[in-house]
Amino acid sequence: MDRQEAEKRIEELRREIEEHNYRYYVLDDPVITDAEYDRLMRELITLEEAFPDLITPDSPTQRVGGEPLPYFEKVEHSVPMLSLGNAFSEEDLREFDRRIRRTAGVDKVRYVCELKIDGLAVSLRYENGVFVRGATRGDGQTGEDITQNLKTIRSLPLRLRRPVTLEVRGEAFMPKGEFQRINAQKEKRGEPLFANPRNAAAGSLRQLDPRLAAERALDIFLYGIGWMEGEVPKTHAESLRFLADLGFKVNPAWRAVERIEDVMAYVEEWRQRRADLGYEIDGVVIKVDDLALREILGTTAKSPRWAVAYKFPAEEAVTILRDIEINVGRTGAVTPTALLDPVTLAGTTVKRASLHNEDIIREKGILLGDHVIVRKAGDIIPEIVGVLPERRTGEERPYRMPEYCPECNSRLVRLDGEVALRCINPQCPAQTREGIIHFVSRGAMNIEGLGEKVVTQLFQAGLVRSVADLYYLKKEDLLPLERMGEKSVENLLASIERSKQNSVERLLFGLGIRFVGSKGALILARHFGHLDRIMEADREELESINEIGPKMADSIVTYFAKPEVREVVERLRAAGVNFSFKGPRTEEAAAESPFAGKTVVLTGTLKHFSRKEASERIEALGGKVTGSVSKNTDLLIAGEKAGSKLRKAQDLGVQVIDEQTFLEMLGQEG
């Protein structure tokens, strides 16, 4: 077979195999045997091996391939992936409907109801019908590139049935059967079990090695178009049909309804039927069908006003509380945890539940040996709702909180105004370990590969006693540790090295100063610009900053006055960790800036900024950034591929500028 014949046959095979994938994984209607499918795939592999220059990214042979990644690249979403507001009752749904009708000025609104799949939200980009990139939701503006892992999902088409360019949103999930199979294997190998299918799906798609993701039979439902070139559907129902026509797997249970009573009937129907599904759902999503009306309704900073997620009531179960275990957190707070007889709840086995503090145990009248009612708050966190005193046998006994820290044997104290007992020994190993786990977490220094188990390993091996020790780890220190191979050690050290370049607000949050969350850290970093200036600030200077109160100011001054803290900071400095703020500084001159007091909307793709960076620059200069165009919008900044927001701004007479003008307003060159 010559090259021309091979090229023709390869294209035929790809189309035939993708059609069979679609019939098998999307329609659940195979028309050939597994042996016939394998024969087609073998022929394609043979031809591609003979003509490797004909291999393309959308070939079915490329679903799993490539070396493990050192880390995930960041991806900017073309349109923000907003989270949904929640409804928990019939009255919440009626209020949602009243607000929509009042804003729209109509008596009746058409809604689309969909099952709320319990998985991982993802964004997929196709160019001319070919899958080019997939990403996690992340913070809504920026996610992680998990393209190679998403390719392993057989129901996800690598090439669409039409050559369209668009970004679609969906939910990747792990079917119940696959979840049970994997946990059975883990149990047999003595490995920790996945907590629930959602965690299993998220963990699978965030594997740095795509081959590990491919071992798990994940699935995906697509539920919306984030952005699209050309004419877009006019309703959500049309969008779902359009996605199905392109070859995407769309959940068939969606339903368009005319009244809020029909919405509630749908909710009740699936509340009763959820256990019969082959995948987990935790509620129902209700969306306004008319896309033009959605534009009018707009969004808040976090959520669309035209949609709501109804969350099913938490499932409850009765079990026996056998004992209470004490855990010491990074701030020294002592948390009691109930140890329970295993019970199945919302599809997972529950053995533990947080009791929060001593007062909760007393208020609920909990005794060791009690029959207790357990539920999952938000279908995630197990909690004890109450006890069943009528089932007591007389053998139950009261629980007494310890007087001494179980980790360092220091006397526990209750500080004024606090309900939690606390270990105030700064050398307590539990606090140190938990502090390091917090330091490396995604919201702080974001060191890939340093999870709780690895940190515990390092701590037990005596390799780390403070966060600064992480930056002095060597390859020869790590290789002797269990499950630390050459490649994983190199990746871990590279991730630690990369974290040195983080902007200082991540370091400040990672240090774990009481009352200083991620937002407070950003405010401090933006105001002072350098960690040294924060360390030198007194209470009065700190309190003069908007949103920094007396408690936070006092905590910061007290923290940096400790000699042991100063020592850690100097070791971090010597290791080359960045102490400077890399974002835009808050300027006193903001009041005179071209953005002062203006409401600004960003649309399209900017070359010089991510959406988040542009927003921070505008806000630092006194502007307010919103997600939708309205009569209150003062300025629209239009990047490449600007869509409906640009058209709406033009219709409303809103001032529109391009990126070059934006740069000039910032005093930068293009």
Question: Residue type for 647, please?
Answer: R
Instruction: Please tell me the predicted confidence (pLDDT) of residue 627.
Output: 78
Give φ, ψ of 638 to 5 degrees: -105, 115
Nearest to 513 by CA among 568, 581, 464, 449: 568
Q: Please indicate, yes or no, whether residues 442 and 555 belong to a single structural domain of this protein.
A: no
Tokens 């909307």 locate to: 601
Q: Please indicate, yes or no, whether residues 637 and 651 belong to a single structural domain of this protein.
A: yes
Secondary structure element (H or E) that encloses residue 288, with its range: strand 281-288
Instruction: Please tell me the predicted confidence (pLDDT) of residue 589.
Output: 41
The domain in which residue 205 lies consists of 86-311
Read off the pLDDT of residues 431-444 as tens digits, 9 standing for 90 and up: 889 899 999 987 78
Q: Please indicate, yes or no, whether residues 38 and 158 belong to a single structural domain of this protein.
A: no
CB atoms within 10 A of CB 513: 21
Q: Please indicate, yes or no, whether residues 440 and 550 belong to a single structural domain of this protein.
A: no
| Alpha-helix runs per DSSP H in 190-318 | 197-205, 210-214, 236-246, 260-273, 291-297
Longest pairwise C-alpha distance within the chain: 86
Tokens 């499918």 locate to: 37
Read off the pLDDT of residues 346-385 as tens digits, 9 standing for 90 and up: 667 889 998 888 888 999 999 999 999 998 755 556 889 8
Q: Residue 77 falls within a domain, yes or no?
A: no
Of the pLDDT bands very low, low, confident and very high (cuts 50, 70, 90), residue 185 is: confident
Residues 6+ positions from 388 with CB-CB distance below 8 Å? 318, 370, 371, 372, 373
Of the pLDDT bands very low, low, confident and very high (cuts 50, 70, 90), residue 545 is: confident
| Alpha-helix runs per DSSP H in 440-543 | 452-460, 475-478, 486-499, 504-510, 518-528, 531-536, 539-543
Instruction: Please tell me the predicted confidence (pLDDT) of residue 532.
Output: 95
Q: Residue 262 falls within a domain, yes or no?
A: yes
Number of H helices and number of E strands within the chain? Answer: 24, 20
Secondary structure element (H or E) that encloses residue 618, with its range: helix 611-620
Instruction: Please tell me the predicted confidence (pLDDT) of residue 59.
Output: 85
Of the pLDDT bands very low, low, confident and very high (cuts 50, 70, 90), residue 588 is: very low
Residue 122 forms beta bridges with which residues? 136, 170
Q: Residue 466 falls within a domain, yes or no?
A: yes
Tell me how far apart the alpha carbons of residues 390 and 413 are, in angstroms, rounded to a whole number.
35
Of the pLDDT bands very low, low, confident and very high (cuts 50, 70, 90), residue 585 is: low
CATH of the domain at 605: 3.40.50.10190
Tell me how far apart the alpha carbons of residues 51 and 265 are, in angstroms, rounded to a whole number.
57
Instruction: Please tell me the predicted confidence (pLDDT) of residue 591.
Output: 52
The upper half-sphere exposure of residue 369, i.e. CA atoms within 13 Å in the direction of its Cβ, equals 10
Q: Please indicate, yes or no, whether residues 489 and 379 belong to a single structural domain of this protein.
A: no
CATH of the domain at 441: 1.10.150.20
Tell me how far apart the alpha carbons of residues 566 and 534 are, in angstroms, rounded to a whole number.
13
User: CA-based angle 53:56:61, to the nearest 5?
Assistant: 105
Residues 6+ positions from 404 with CB-CB distance below 8 Å? 410, 411, 412
57 has pLDDT over 90: no
Tokens 């030198």 locate to: 536
Tell me how far apart the alpha carbons of residues 371 and 349 are, in angstroms, rounded to a whole number.
17
Q: Please indicate, yes or no, whether residues 330 and 300 belong to a single structural domain of this protein.
A: no
Q: Residue 108 falls within a domain, yes or no?
A: yes
Coil, helix or strand at residue 267: helix
Q: Please indicate, yes or no, whether residues 514 and 487 belong to a single structural domain of this protein.
A: no
Q: Residue 96 falls within a domain, yes or no?
A: yes
586 has pLDDT over 60: no
- Nearest-Å Rg of the Cα atoms of the chain is 28
Q: Residue 565 falls within a domain, yes or no?
A: yes
Tell me how far apart the alpha carbons of residues 173 and 184 are, in angstroms, rounded to a whole number.
18
Of the pLDDT bands very low, low, confident and very high (cuts 50, 70, 90), residue 199 is: confident
Q: Residue 123 falls within a domain, yes or no?
A: yes
Question: Which of 405, 424, 443 is at the close of a domain?
Answer: 424
Distances in Å between the Cα of 403 and the Cα atoms of 339, 348, 409, 424 are: 20, 35, 9, 13
Nearest to 201 by CA among 228, 174, 222, 177: 174
Instruction: Please tell me the predicted confidence (pLDDT) of residue 1.
Output: 78
Tell me how far apart the alpha carbons of residues 172 and 218 are, in angstroms, rounded to a whole number.
7
Tell me how far apart the alpha carbons of residues 374 and 317 are, in angstroms, rounded to a whole number.
5
Distances in Å between the Cα of 410 and the Cα atoms of 171, 406, 429, 576 are: 48, 8, 11, 35
Q: Please indicate, yes or no, whether residues 372 and 398 belong to a single structural domain of this protein.
A: yes
CATH of the domain at 31: 1.10.287.610
Among 115-129, 218-232, 477-491, which is the least confidently predicted range? 477-491
Tell me how far apart the alpha carbons of residues 335 and 361 are, in angstroms, rounded to a whole number.
11
pLDDT: which is higher, 457 or 193: 457
Q: Residue 80 falls within a domain, yes or no?
A: no
622 has pLDDT over 90: no
Q: Please indicate, yes or no, whether residues 652 and 617 belong to a single structural domain of this protein.
A: yes
Catalytic residues: 116
Coil, helix or strand at residue 37: helix
Q: Which two tokens stand for residue 9?
A: 């046959």
612 has pLDDT over 80: no
Q: Distance between the two ends of the chain, CA-based, in angstroms?
A: 53
Q: Please indicate, yes or no, whether residues 102 and 57 belong to a single structural domain of this protein.
A: no
Coil, helix or strand at residue 170: strand
Q: Please indicate, yes or no, whether residues 187 and 296 belong to a single structural domain of this protein.
A: yes
Our count of domains for the chain comes to 6
Average pLDDT, the chain: 87
Q: Please indicate, yes or no, whether residues 212 and 101 belong to a single structural domain of this protein.
A: yes
Question: Which of 277, 311, 345 is at the close of a domain?
Answer: 311
pLDDT: which is higher, 416 or 276: 276
> Given the DSSP bridges, would you call strands 255-257 and 130-136 parallel, antiparallel or unpaired?
unpaired
344 has pLDDT over 60: yes
Tell me how far apart the alpha carbons of residues 15 and 27 are, in angstroms, rounded to a whole number.
16
Read off the pLDDT of residues 504-528 as tens digits, 9 standing for 90 and up: 999 999 999 988 988 789 889 988 9
Residue 422 forms beta bridges with which residues? 333, 413
Give φ, ψ of 409 to 5 degrees: 70, 15
Question: Residue type for 319, please?
Answer: T
Question: Which of 473, 499, 525 is at the close of a domain?
Answer: 499
Tell me how far apart the alpha carbons of residues 513 and 552 are, in angstroms, rounded to a whole number.
9
Give φ, ψ of 74 to 5 degrees: -85, 145
